[in-house]
């Protein structure tokens, strides 16, 4: 495997966990088939051989870039996963939306679920859907686009992409989103996980990390 083409940017590394800066277009975890094995997890395991087989504490969508947390041992994975489940982890994302948002800020609460006939598309469903909650704030209007900060409370699949695009959310998709916007498959999507704060699994201290926004 070509190390140059399969490297991974490490933001922070300790003996029990590592934080990487995932590039957009790279899978978080391996998929089915040999063509879907290049991913954050497998690259990290090559760099850290002692890492457990399933180290991902959370995931980012394929086109989403930014901070991703991986555990090196099982006890740390369990402790960090519990923090995500209990909503004790603070996350911030920045997105560029394909239109102008007039409001300054707000909260989006939208129930949605997987559309089994059009995987991996998620659809609004007030009856069978599970609620996704996101705080948002307008940062700037840049020509015909709006830069927005998202602070998700829940961590549902495609949550921020749906909250941006759906008429009951902001009604303005993320630039480059080929599922919920006008982007084409393979286009860069302008959504970046720029901030992560959690409790250190060994010391009990709150720690935080940031990643530079690439757009």
> In this predicted model, what pLDDT tens digit does every residue of 98-143 receive, in sequence order?
999 999 999 999 999 999 999 999 999 999 999 999 999 999 999 9
The reply to whether 2 belongs to the active site is: no
Q: Give the 3-state secondary structure of residue 132.
A: strand
Q: What is the CATH T-level fold of the domain 93-191, as seen in this structure?
A: Pseudouridine synthase (3.30.2350)
- Tokens standing for 45? 């395991």
Full pLDDT tens readout for the chain, 215 residues: 334 457 899 999 999 999 999 999 999 999 888 888 999 999 999 999 999 999 999 999 999 999 999 999 999 999 999 999 999 999 999 999 999 999 999 999 999 999 999 999 999 999 999 999 999 999 999 999 999 999 999 999 999 999 999 999 999 999 999 999 999 888 899 999 999 999 999 999 999 999 999 99
Name every residue whose Cβ is closer than 8 Å to that of residue 209 and which is 6 or more positions away in sequence: 11, 12, 19, 67, 195, 196, 197
Percentage of the chain surpassing pLDDT 70? 98
d(C-alpha 39, C-alpha 26), whole Å: 6
Closest CA to 16 of 203, 156, 150: 203
Closest C-alpha to 172, from 158, 156, 160: 160
CATH 3.30.2350.10-classified regions of the chain: 9-87, 93-191
Give the mean pLDDT of the chain. Answer: 95
Q: Which of 2, 21, 38, 61 is catalytic?
A: 61
The CATH superfamily of 9-87 is Pseudouridine synthase (3.30.2350.10)
């Amino acid at each position: 495997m070509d190390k140059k083409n399969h490297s991974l940017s490490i933001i922070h590394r300790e003996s029990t966990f590592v934080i990487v800066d995932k590039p957009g277009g790279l899978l978080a975890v391996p998929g089915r088939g040999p063509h879907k094995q290049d991913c954050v997890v497998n690259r990290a395991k090559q760099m850290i051989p002692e890492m457990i087989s399933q180290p991902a504490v959370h995931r980012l969508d394929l086109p989403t870039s930014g901070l991703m947390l991986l555990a090196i041992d099982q006890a740390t994975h369990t402790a960090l996963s519990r923090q995500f489940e209990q909503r004790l982890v603070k996350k911030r994302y920045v997105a560029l939306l394909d239109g102008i948002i007039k409001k300054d800020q707000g909260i989006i609460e939208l129930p949605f679920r997987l559309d089994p006939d059009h995987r991996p598309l998620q659809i609004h469903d007030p009856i069978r859907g599970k609620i996704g909650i996101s705080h948002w704030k307008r940062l700037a209007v840049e020509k015909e686009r709006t830069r927005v900060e998202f602070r998700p409370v829940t961590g549902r699949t495609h949550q921020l992409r749906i909250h941006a695009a759906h008429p009951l959310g902001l009604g303005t998709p993320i630039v480059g989103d080929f599922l919920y916007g006008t982007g084409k498959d393979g286009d860069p999507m302008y959504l970046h996980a720029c901030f992560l704060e959690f409790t250190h699994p060994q010391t009990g201290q709150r720690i935080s990390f940031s990643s530079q926004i690439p757009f």
